[in-house]
Every structure is written in structure tokens, then in C-alpha cells.
């Protein structure tokens, strides 16, 4: 089996669901603290699936992590668990330091102890796959080439600094202890189960609810966007075939300015769910104060993973964003539970008791 951390969040849940879709998939132990970003409703399709074992807990809990490793004997760990929202990291960085840095350190140490005690064959096939972000590389000027794995790190937000620190720990555990790691640095994801504090789901839901669509600053900041299903397939590929100690950049070859993304969402909604008054959703766009220290541009050069492992994204931005918008239109119960916060009551009723 494999141990996934943070598997009730956006990308982790998509990964667990897609992993278990394969009929011969190994079982998954899913360790998640269920912060505001963790939502068991994301995993409701697995309620009666014995291949999914959910454990409520913290990657920073040494006793729990060590016990899970010795009880379940996973052959790999995929570490998604993190605080992930830049704006929250600006308002309150402490949790980011705790989970992203101290938590990853604890996970590495527990895993290293476990790995050291494995028999030769198990030891050789063990993998620690650390999930990271392109934000660790810092901000690009418009004429700069896209981030390569060899770029130096230059994180600018408390979030990206905490992820950069965790990447450095993972790297050091490989070089110092020979601990078998791979790291992937991915661009901005979007797709089903995305918590509506991030740009794309926020814009979809605010548009449908007649609320303003907040665009920070001039809206000309550029991100590379990758459909979450493509990120999950890249992770499976790296987990299966990645070279130990290597890092792989993952991206969608889809650089877009934020304002363009917001306008595309508005146009698709105009088509799929026109406003009752017949006006365009773009009328709701509102320019607001910029994020402090806002990185201007991220771009990923994903040629290494393509050349070495044969991975390329399947979705274009057009196909991926349509699927995403349709998913939000088709899942009003999920949306309602998240927007009202009742997903947390559900969790207490259904799980914690």
C-alpha cells in the first residue's frame, strides 16, 4: 500500500480518487488533519471502498506517523499535506511554518527510521514523493525563460518560503542519508473539489451568486495553469519511474494573465448559465487592492518530465476549464456545503463521533 498525506484536500483527494480508479490499485492510507481545507465529502465516493483507509491526524505527530508506518508497512509516501493559500500565509504564517516545514521534517524523520529498518528488497523500492510548487522559484520578468529544475530558489511569500524550506529538507535527506526521495514542482492547478478561496473556483461561484469578481491589482499577473487530473497522472508517472534524488517540474504549457482567466470563465458561464438579466458576467469584474509582494509571473518548462518520463498534459486550458465549470454547475450540494461551512458539521457527525 501507499501512504498519502493531505488526501482530503483538493489535489490529494483528486489523486486518491484517480489512484483507486485503477482496478489493480494498491490500497491507500490517507493521513489528513482535516484543517478548513480538508473535506471528507471529496472522498465520499470511497465510503464503502475497503482499499481506502482514512486516518485523522497531523504529519507533525511523531508517534502517530511512526505507528502508521509500522502497522501498515507502505512501500511509498506521497506528501501533499500543507497549508497552501498564499493570502492566508500573509495574514498568518505560523501554521505554514508548522505544517510545511516542521511537519515535513517530522515525516522525513519518521520515514527515514522506518526505511532504515526495512529488508533489502522493500528498502530498495521505497519512495518518498514530496509534492511542491513552482512558487519556490520566485517571480519571472515577462522576457525570462520558464522555470527549469536548475533555476535557483527565490521564494517571496511566507507560503512559498515554507515550501522551499521543505524542498531543501527533502533534498538534504537524500544527499546526507541516502533517503530515497523524489520532488515535483507543479504550477497552479484547477479542477473539481478546489476550495473556493483560490482564484478559479472563487470566480465561478461569485459569478453565479451575483457577487463581485475580485481581480488583484491590474490583473496582468501571469500563472501557468494545469488541470488537476494531469497533475495526478504526472505524480503517478514520477512515483513509478522517477530517478531518486531528482526533481521534476510539472506544468500545463498554459501561461495566462489573471484577467484573461477571469474573462474566459465569464464567457463560458455566459454560454452555459446565462445571467437572468441577460448581461455578461464580466460586468461583475472588480479591481481590488493588490496582494502584498505579489509575484508577477510564473512559468514552467516541463520538458524534463516529458523527455525523461514521457509525460505530457492531456487537457488544454479550454477543455480543462470547461470541465471544471461544468463540475461546479453539476455539484451544487458540494458547493453549498463548502460555502455554508456545513461540510465541517457533516464531518463531525459522520466521522469524528
Provide the phi-psi class of 310: left if phi over 0, else alpha when psi is between -120 and 50, else beta: left
- Judged by CB, which is closer to ligand NAD: 259, or 300? 300
Position with the least CB separation from ligand NAD? 9
- Nearest-approach distance from CB 206 to ligand TYD, in angstroms: 9
Choose the contact partner of 86 out of ligand TYD, ligand NAD, none; CB within 5 to 8 A by kind.
ligand TYD
Residue 227 falls in the annotated catalytic set: no
Residue 298 falls in the annotated catalytic set: no
Provide the phi-psi class of 73: left if phi over 0, else alpha when psi is between -120 and 50, else beta: left
Choose the contact partner of 301 out of ligand TYD, ligand NAD, none; CB within 5 to 8 A by kind.
none
DSSP track, 11-66? HHHHHHHHHHHSTTPPPEEEEE---TT--GGGGGGGTT-TTEEEEE--TT-HHHHH
- Nearest-approach distance from CB 10 to ligand NAD, in angstroms: 4
Q: 3-class secondary structure for 128-145?
A: EEEEEEHHHHCCCCCCCC
Catalytic member of 159, 190, 281, 298? 159
* Interaction between residue 133 and ligand NAD (CB under 6 A): yes
Cβ(29)–Cβ(68) below 8 Å: yes
Cβ(159)–Cβ(152) below 8 Å: no
* Interaction between residue 38 and ligand NAD (CB under 6 A): yes
Residues 59-98 contacting ligand NAD, CB under 6 A:
59-60, 80-84
Site residues (CB under 6 A) for ligand TYD?
A: 86, 188, 198-199, 202, 214-216, 221, 223, 258, 291
- Nearest-approach distance from CB 271 to ligand NAD, in angstroms: 26
Residue 255 falls in the annotated catalytic set: no
SS3 76: strand
Q: Could you give the C-alpha distances from 20 to 127, 133, 143, 276, in angstroms and in order?
A: 19, 24, 42, 41
The contact set with ligand NAD (CB under 6 A) reads 5-6, 8-12, 31-35, 37-38, 58-60, 80-84, 99, 103, 131-133, 163, 186, 188-189, 195
Annotated active-site positions, please? 134-135, 159
Amino acid at each position: 500500500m501507499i501512504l498519502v498525506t493531505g488526501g482530503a484536500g483538493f489535489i490529494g483527494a483528486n489523486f486518491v480518487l484517480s489512484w483507486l480508479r485503477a482496478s489493480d490499485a494498491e490500497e491507500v492510507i490517507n493521513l489528513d488533519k482535516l484543517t478548513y481545507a480538508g473535506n471528507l465529502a471529496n472522498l465520499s465516493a470511497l465510503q464503502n471502498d475497503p482499499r481506502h483507509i482514512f486516518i485523522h491526524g497531523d504529519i507533525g505527530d511523531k508517534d502517530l506517523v511512526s505507528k502508521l508506518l509500522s502497522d501498515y508497512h507502505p512501500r511509498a509516501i506521497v506528501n501533499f499535506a500543507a497549508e497552501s493559500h498564499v493570502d492566508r500565509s500573509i495574514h498568518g504564517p505560523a501554521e505554514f511554518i508548522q505544517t510545511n516545514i516542521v511537519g515535513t521534517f517530522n515525516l522525513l524523520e519518521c520515514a527515514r527510521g522506518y526505511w532504515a529498518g526495512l529488508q533489502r528488497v522493500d528498502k530498495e523500492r521505497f519512495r518518498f514523493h514530496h509534492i511542491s510548487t513552482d512558487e519556490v522559484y520566485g517571480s519571472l520578468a515577462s522576457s525570462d525563460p520558464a522555470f527549469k529544475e536548475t533555476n535557483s530558489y527565490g521564494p517571496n511569500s511566507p507560503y512559498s518560503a515554507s515550501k522551499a524550506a521543505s524542498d531543501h529538507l527533502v533534498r538534504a535527506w537524500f544527499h546526507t542519508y541516502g533517503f530515497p526521495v523524489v520532488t515535483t514542482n507543479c504550477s497552479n492547478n484547477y479542477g473539481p473539489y478546489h476550495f473556493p478561496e483560490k482564484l478559479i473556483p472563487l470566480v465561478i461561484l461569485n459569478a453565479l451568486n451575483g457577487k463581485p469578481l475580485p481581480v488583484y491589482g491590474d490583473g496582468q499577473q501571469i500563472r501557468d495553469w494545469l488541470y488537476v487530473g494531469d497533475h495526478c497522472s504526472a505524480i503517478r508517472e514520477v512515483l513509478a519511474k522517477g530517478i531518486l534524488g531528482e526533481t521534476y517540474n510539472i506544468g500545463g504549457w498554459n501561461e495566462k494573465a489573471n484577467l484573461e482567466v477571469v474573462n474566459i470563465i465569464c464567457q463560458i458561464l455566459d454560454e452555459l448559465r446565462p445571467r437572468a438579466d441577460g448581461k455578461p458576467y464580466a460586468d461583475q469584474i472588480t479591481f481590488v487592492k493588490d496582494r502584498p509582494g505579489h509575484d508577477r509571473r510564473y512559468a514552467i518548462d516541463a520538458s524534463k518530465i516529458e523527455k525523461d518520463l514521457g509525460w505530457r498534459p492531456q487537457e488544454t486550458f479550454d477543455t480543462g476549464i470547461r470541465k471544471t465549470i461544468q463540475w461546479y454547475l453539476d455539484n451544487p450540494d458540494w458547493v453549498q456545503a463548502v460555502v455554508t461551512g456545513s461540510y465541517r458539521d457533516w464531518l463531525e457527525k459522520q466521522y469524528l463521533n
